[in-house]
Amino acid sequence: VTERGRAALLALAVGGRGLVDPEEPVLRADDDALLRGRAAFETLRVYGGSPFRLDDHIARLAASAERLGLPRVDPDAFRELTAVALAGAAAPDASLRLYWTPGREGAGRPTALALVSAIPPHLEEVRARGIAVVALSLGIDADRRQVAPWLLGGVKSTSYAVNMAAQQEARRRGSDDALFLSLEGLVLEGPTSNIWFREGRTLHTPALDLGILAGVTRDTLIGAATARGYSVAEGAYELDRLVVADEVFSSSSVREVVGVVAIDGSRVGGGAPGEAALELQQALRDAAAG
């Protein structure tokens, strides 16, 4: 997406070692994270020095690790590592990424990493204008990932090559991001975000049983929207429903709430970020401020 670029790595903490110079190599060549993309990860936002909903992110990391067959995640160890990394960066607003790799092939010595990076530049410009997305099929039937755990639906692993290739395809088509559809054409999620649309005072977002990621920000917004008098529905939606909706927006931890102003080259929601996107972005910031 357009705000991509070098997200300057401000601080790095490594399990068992504490703060480590980000310039220092920390993974061996035969780490399973490199060899097979078999590491669990989380990305979260740090507001005013506090990682937002850290425990929920660590819980999801633990669930991903279990599904990937990795050693058990110790939540306390990740909380400590996070504190070390954040103290090392001294950036009140930042992006925090947590990684849990199984370690060297066959050795069974996992590694925990906490990376603090600068917020990508131009994010507020992107939020002001909104993004254009293209719908790309994942080619998988919507019910499949519920019954086929090996497809890792809802698991946040570092095997993100398809997600990145989809974003690349979107940019090749002159858009900012991709929106994944199921085989049947049901709307699923973005490569790194959840998707929403508004019809009057009702907000809709795809249901988790479609095998999508259970976004922590998605969950925050469900609560915030309900508290502000919206009805929130989780369901299975055709793309057409979004095209004619009052507005469309995406949610993710670092990019937060961003309006979607075009789908497949056609304007949606009047071609500008909508009122719910603006209101929920503010609500998210309020929630983060405590």
Confirm or reject binding of residue 121 to its own copies (CB under 8 A): no
- Under 8 Å CB-to-CB from 132, ≥6 apart: which residues? 174, 175, 176, 177, 260, 261, 262, 263, 265
Of 128, 162, 214, 227, the residue at the interface with its own copies (CB under 8 A) is 162
Task: Report d(CA 188, CA 237) in Å as an integer.
Answer: 9
Rounded to whole angstroms, the Cα distance separating 289 from 48 reads: 8
Does residue 83 sit in helix, strand or coil? helix
Which residue of 2, 18, 19, 34 would you call a contact of its own copies, by CB under 8 A? 34
Interface with its own copies, residue 242, by CB under 8 A: no
Selected binder of its own copies within 9, 59, 232, 236 (CB under 8 A): 9
Quick one: which segment of 30-38, 72-80, 197-205, 240-248 binds its own copies (CB under 8 A)? 30-38
Q: How far apart are CA 141 and CA 155, in angstroms?
A: 17
Residue 105 as a binder of its own copies (CB under 8 A): the answer is yes
**Nearest CA-CA partner of 196 in 126, 288, 281, 277:** 277
Q: Could you say which of 138, 203, 261, 262 contacts its own copies (CB under 8 A)?
A: 138
Residue 17 sits in the site that holds its own copies (CB under 8 A) = no
Structure tokens belonging to residue 155: 């698991």
Residue from 132, 136, 254, 260 that binds its own copies (CB under 8 A)? 136
CA 199 to chain centre: 24
- Considering the rule CB under 8 A, would residue 149 count as an interface residue with its own copies? yes
Of residues 68 and 133, the one with the C-beta less far from its own copies? 68
CB 122 within 8 A of CB 2: yes
Beta bridge partners of 241: none
**Cβ 157 to its own copies shortest distance, Å:** 4
Q: How far is the CB of 33 from its own copies (least distance, A)?
A: 5
3-state secondary structure of 288: helix
| Amino acid, single-letter form, for residue 94 | A
Indicate the residue type of 59: A
Q: Which residues bind its own copies (CB under 8 A)?
A: 4-7, 9, 12, 14, 20, 22-31, 33-39, 41, 67-69, 97, 99, 101, 104-107, 113, 115, 117, 136-141, 144-145, 148-152, 155, 157-166, 168-169, 178, 183
